[in-house]
Amino acid sequence: MTPRKKNKAPIRHRRRWFWLLLLVPLAVVGGVLLLQRDLLEWNGNGLPSRPVQLTPEEELNGLLLRAVRELGVSPSSIRHQRGEDGLAFYRFRCPRRLHPVNANRWLSRIFEDEGLAVLDCREAGRPGRPDLFYLVERDGNPPLRARLRMDAPTGDPPLFQDQPLLAIVIDDFGNNYGPVAKGLLELPMALTASILPDQRRSKRVEKEARKRGHAVFMHLPMEPLDWPESNPGPGAIFAGIGADSTRVLLDQHAAGYRRLDGLNNHMGSRASQDTDVVNAILDWSAERDLLVLDSWTHHKSKISLLAGAHGRPPLRADLFLDGEGEDEAAIAENLLELSELARERGWAIGIGHPRRETLEILKRMQPRLTDYGFRFVTLPALVEEIFPSAMSEE
């Protein structure tokens, strides 16, 4: 009996399906890529668009606008027109919190960093509060020039203070150790790293912060007014839990750190108003010789108010550098405000967060502030220098 031949049609059929299943996804991916290319090459009017090529004059104008904005000047208040001599002309008012001399030094440093030569800078108006006139030039063929006028600020200028101290606290470390967190810890300036307890990268951040000479604080989760819409995280201290429960939570959190320099509240706009809770935190901290910084998330917070009674310096944050939704220009303006406060008082405390914009501004402005005489210090170093005066002021 002749063996029956196997039917090979099903095999060929399966092979066709195999190639179809392989080629269809490739075709879809190719179509998506072509569609993206078309979207990039065509604008909303149905006309082909090309990469925008700025003229040298437009590049210079953009650079000058960025420089003025870094001073904290709102873009809407910068007048930009063509002068009688044909040069681009900018006019703006020096922010009230900046002394004109400081603003002049700041602008000059920005121009230098951006490759602009200041051909002329002259004063006019009242001595000590002058209007400043600049003529700047950028190399090119031909070289480009522009004029700026900075009007004196309204009101009395801030006072000067030699070697003012700036303490920058970075909150919310611990969730990750990505490029931003790493970049902040690697900045050539003293920082206070405030690390959330029991997060997956808390120990790693503490180790890296210590390696670079930064101070380490516990970023203590506390109940906010809008809980549960805003969640402070696991192990948070809530208003009304009493002193004993507060101390138990503090002990549990502290066990996750190798060594602490202090703590500050994470959220806590409600719990920081609870006298029993705040006294328990301050007592616990005093027993371990830890500093306590009031993040000042609510104007009725009692942390700094009660600190002196427990032998703790009454430390309170002056401002947040990077509020929700604030861009680089706003963060730069906040850092300028903090620096001018330090000029007047001799020191200031600012709180930032692991955000790309915050990293970029600190990276850009820290060298300038250092050149102007500011000293970046950790909170423990700040307390060593201002503790007596701070206590007497309170």
Full-model pTM: 0.70
pLDDT value for 152: 83
Place 389 in a pLDDT band, splitting at 50, 70 and 90: very low
Place 372 in a pLDDT band, splitting at 50, 70 and 90: confident
pLDDT value for 308: 92
Bridge partners (DSSP) listed for residue 122: 133
pLDDT value for 219: 98
Q: What residues does each domain of the chain span? A: 56-151, 165-393
Once rounded to an integer, what is the mean pLDDT over residues 197-224? 97
Once rounded to an integer, what is the mean pLDDT over residues 240-248? 96
CB atoms within 10 A of CB 50: 7
Q: Which tens digits make up the pLDDT trace of 134-175?
A: 999 988 767 888 888 888 887 765 555 568 999 999 999 999
Which has the minimum average pLDDT: 115-129, 258-272, 339-353? 115-129
Alpha-carbon distance 166 to 285, whole Å?
Answer: 24
Kindly list the distances between the CA atom of residue 86 and the CA atoms of 58, 145, 147, 389, in Å, as whole numbers in the listed order.
15, 10, 10, 55
Reported in sequence order, the residue ranges of the chain that DSSP labels E, i.e. its strands, are 79-82, 88-93, 116-126, 129-138, 144-151, 165-173, 192-195, 215-222, 262-267, 291-294, 315-316, 319-320, 347-352, 375-377
pLDDT value for 55: 80
Once rounded to an integer, what is the mean pLDDT over residues 377-390? 84
Asked if the model's pLDDT at residue 14 lies above 70, the reply is: no
Kindly list the distances between the CA atom of residue 84 and the CA atoms of 81, 89, 102, 187, in Å, as whole numbers in the listed order.
10, 9, 29, 45
Alpha-carbon distance 384 to 165, whole Å?
Answer: 12
Once rounded to an integer, what is the mean pLDDT over residues 256-270? 97
Q: Which tens digits make up the pLDDT trace of 16-75?
A: 665 656 666 666 556 555 545 444 333 433 344 444 567 878 888 888 887 887 777 877
Place 222 in a pLDDT band, splitting at 50, 70 and 90: very high
CATH level 3 topology of 165-393:
TIM Barrel (3.20.20)
pLDDT value for 58: 82
- Helical ranges in 94-133 per DSSP H: 100-113
May I ask the CATH class of domain 56-151? alpha beta
Higher pLDDT, 316 or 330: 316
| Residue 322 CB burial class (10 angstroms; 0-12, 13-18, ≥19) | buried
CB-based contacts of 225: which residues, under 8 Å, 6+ apart?
Answer: 269, 270, 298
pLDDT value for 13: 54
Once rounded to an integer, what is the mean pLDDT over residues 199-216? 97
CATH topology match: 56-151 vs 165-393:
no
Q: Which of 248, 266, 259 is nearest to 215 (CA)?
A: 259
